């Protein structure tokens, strides 16, 4: 009996080595290992043998079964590998036809402006800082000398987040909170710029977007004056735009600077475009961050990066930046 089974196992192995698909494999599995297979029937007959014979035959049977099972497993693995490479081959994308006609992507105008701004300010000795887009009332307002009752809060058209106490958490309405976060962590001298996204309930029009970008600048050192502020803005405008564009400061009001100004840059047609606000850091703001205003003075500025991109590329409408029309974006 064992002899016959050895030759059955050899036959099984030969056929399993050749099997070409999973259905055929399942059939061979039943034929050689199933309930009606020679191996299973032989096992049932073991009971009729004398104990000594039963032991030897049992061992031989187990060994033969293990061999056939091993061959089934190997065949299954071989078929799975073949199926996988067949699928990979079938799903392979032939990209060669795009060669030559493909266009390289490019950075968005606002990203280009932001990168260039960082380069210009790093070249002037500033480092780049960042802050979160979701802020608390402390960072967005209070530490900046804008208490809850202050009318200036209204001018920021804030988008609040429904978290915590009412009007306690918001999408930052300007990048000025990064001033506070920086001064909290670092003692002067401080020379940083902080570019990032800002949000207001503004309706989109030719010069406004509800989600836009600002860059904040903050300098705190000994003996800093309004002259340093004006010189820095002038130097930045010259480096960023080249020789023709001029800047001017106009008196203005921000609770976190005193005195405060707005700065404009000159357009080709002789008119001025408001770019941002600036001023000498208010002593209360320094105090809120644990910095002694008798020892240290500072200036800060904040302006719109999207407006800068509009100006630089002479666009008619700031909304062009977010329409995602590739015919427009491709030009840059
Ligand atoms: C501020 O946001 C102050 N934090 C600026 C500042 C910083 C003053 C440091 C003093 C010291 P203001 O709300 O004016 O100020 O906004 C500054 C600039 O952001 C604007 O001049 C404009 O360039 C840009 N800006 C404001 N709102 C929008 C908008 N909806 N879409 C596009 N740009 C905007």
Q: To test the ligand 1 pocket, which listed residue (145, 230, 254, 277) has its Cβ within 8 A of the most ligand atoms?
A: 277
Question: What is the pLDDT at residue 99?
Answer: 62
More confident residue, 13 or 204: 204
The reported pLDDT for the residue numbered 303 is 95
Would you list the DSSP string of 271-295?
Answer: -EEEEEEEEEEPHHHHHHTT--TTT
The SS3 assignment for 253 reads strand
Quote the pLDDT of residue 186: 95
- pTM assigned to the model: 0.72
Q: What ligand 1 atom has the least distance to the C-alpha of 202?
A: 30
pLDDT over 90 (residue 199): yes
How does DSSP classify residue 205? B
Residue 232 has a CB neighbour count (10 Å cut-off) of 20
Lowest mean pLDDT among 123-127, 310-314, 318-322: 310-314
Query: Residue ranges of the domains in the chain?
Result: 2-91, 109-329
Confidence of residue 101 (pLDDT cuts 50, 70, 90): low
Q: What is the dihedral of CA 166, 171, 175, 180, to 10 degrees?
A: 40
Nearest to 219 by CA among 191, 195, 194, 193: 191
pLDDT in tens, 133-171: 999 999 999 999 999 988 888 878 999 999 999 899 999
- State the distance from the centre of ligand 1 to the C-alpha of 196, rounded, in angstroms: 12
Give the pLDDT score at 248. Answer: 93
Nearest to 1 by CA among 37, 48, 42, 41: 42
Long-range CB contacts (within 8 A, 24+) of 65-70? 65/33, 65/39, 67/9, 67/13, 68/9, 68/12, 68/13, 68/16, 68/32, 68/33, 68/39, 69/33
Q: 284 C-alpha to center of ligand 1: Å? A: 21
- Across 307-323, average pLDDT: 91
- pLDDT at residue 97 is higher than 70: no
Instruction: Give the closest residue (by CA) to ligand 1 atom 25.
Output: 304
> Candidates 151, 214, 312: which one to mutate for ligand 1, based on the most atoms within 8 Å of Cβ?
214
Residue scoring higher pLDDT (188 or 106)? 188
Under the banding of pLDDT at 50, 70 and 90, the label for residue 129 is very high
Nearest atom in ligand 1 to the alpha carbon of residue 200 is: 30
Residue 1, pLDDT above cutoff 80? no
DSSP 141: T
Which residue's alpha carbon is nearest to atom 16 within ligand 1? 276
The tokens for 168 are 């306690």
Reduced to 3 states (helix: H, G, I; strand: E, B; else coil), residue 44 is helix
pLDDT at 80: 87
What torsion, rounded to 10 degrees, do the Cα atoms 131, 132, 137, 139 define?
Answer: -10
Question: Which residues form ligand 1's pocket by a CB distance below 6 Å?
Answer: 174, 176, 200, 202, 208-209, 212, 214, 254, 257, 274-279, 300-304, 306-307
Substitution site in 216, 219, 284, 304 for ligand 1 pocket (most atoms within 8 Å of beta carbon): 304
Confidence of residue 331 (pLDDT cuts 50, 70, 90): confident
What is the distance in A from the centroid of ligand 1 to the CA of 76?
Answer: 67
159 contacts: CB under 8 Å, gap ≥ 6:
170, 171, 173, 199, 200, 201, 210
Cα–ligand 1 centroid distance for 310 (angstroms): 15
Confidence band of 317 (pLDDT split at 50, 70, 90): very high
Question: What atom of ligand 1 comes closest to residue 156's alpha carbon?
Answer: 13
- Residue 68 makes CB contacts below 8 A (sequence gap 6+) with 9, 12, 13, 16, 32, 33, 39
- Please report the atom of ligand 1 found closest to the CA of residue 276: 21
Percent of the chain's residues with pLDDT above 90: 54
pLDDT of residue 102: 64
For residues 67 and 178, the model is more confident at 178
Q: Average model confidence (pLDDT) for the chain?
A: 91
Q: How much is the average pLDDT of 273-299?
A: 96
Q: Which residues pair with 247 in a beta bridge?
A: 265
Q: Which CATH architecture has domain 109-329?
A: 2-Layer Sandwich (3.30)
């Amino acid at each position: 009996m064992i002899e016959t089974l050895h030759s059955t196992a050899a036959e099984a192995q030969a056929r399993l080595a050749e099997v070409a698909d999973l259905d055929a494999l399942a059939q061979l599995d039943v034929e050689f290992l199933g309930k009606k297979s020679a191996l299973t029937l032989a096992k049932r007959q073991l009971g009729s043998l004398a104990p000594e014979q039963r032991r030897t035959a049992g061992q031989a049977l187990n060994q033969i079964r293990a061999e056939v099972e091993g061959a089934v497993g190997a065949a299954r693995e071989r078929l799975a590998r073949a199926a996988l490479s067949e699928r990979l081959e079938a799903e392979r994308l032939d990209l060669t036809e795009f060669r030559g006609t493909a266009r390289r992507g490019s950075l968005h105008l606002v990203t280009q402006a932001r990168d260039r701004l960082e380069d210009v300010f790093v070249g002037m000795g500033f480092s780049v800082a960042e802050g979160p887009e979701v802020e608390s009332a402390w960072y967005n307002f209070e530490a900046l000398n804008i208490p809850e009752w202050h009318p200036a809060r209204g001018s920021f058209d804030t988008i609040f987040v429904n978290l915590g106490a009412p009007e306690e958490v918001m999408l930052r309405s300007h990048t000025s909170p990064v001033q506070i976060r920086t001064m909290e962590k670092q003692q002067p001298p401080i020379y940083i710029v902080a570019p990032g996204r800002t949000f207001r309930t503004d309706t989109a029009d030719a010069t406004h977007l509800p989600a836009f970008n600002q860059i904040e600048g903050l300098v705190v050192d000994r003996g800093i004056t309004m002259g340093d502020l004006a010189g820095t803005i002038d130097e930045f405008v010259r480096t960023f735009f080249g020789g023709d564009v001029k800047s001017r400061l106009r008196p203005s009001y921000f609770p976190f600077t005193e005195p405060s100004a707005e700065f404009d840059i000159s357009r080709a047609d002789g008119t001025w475009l408001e770019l941002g606000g600036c001023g000498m850091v208010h002593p209360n703001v320094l105090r809120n961050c644990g910095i002694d205003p008798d020892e240290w003075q500072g200036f800060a500025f904040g302006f719109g990066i999207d407006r800068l991109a509009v100006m630089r590329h002479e666009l008619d409408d700031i909304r062009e930046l977010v329409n995602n029309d590739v015919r427009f974006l491709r030009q840059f």
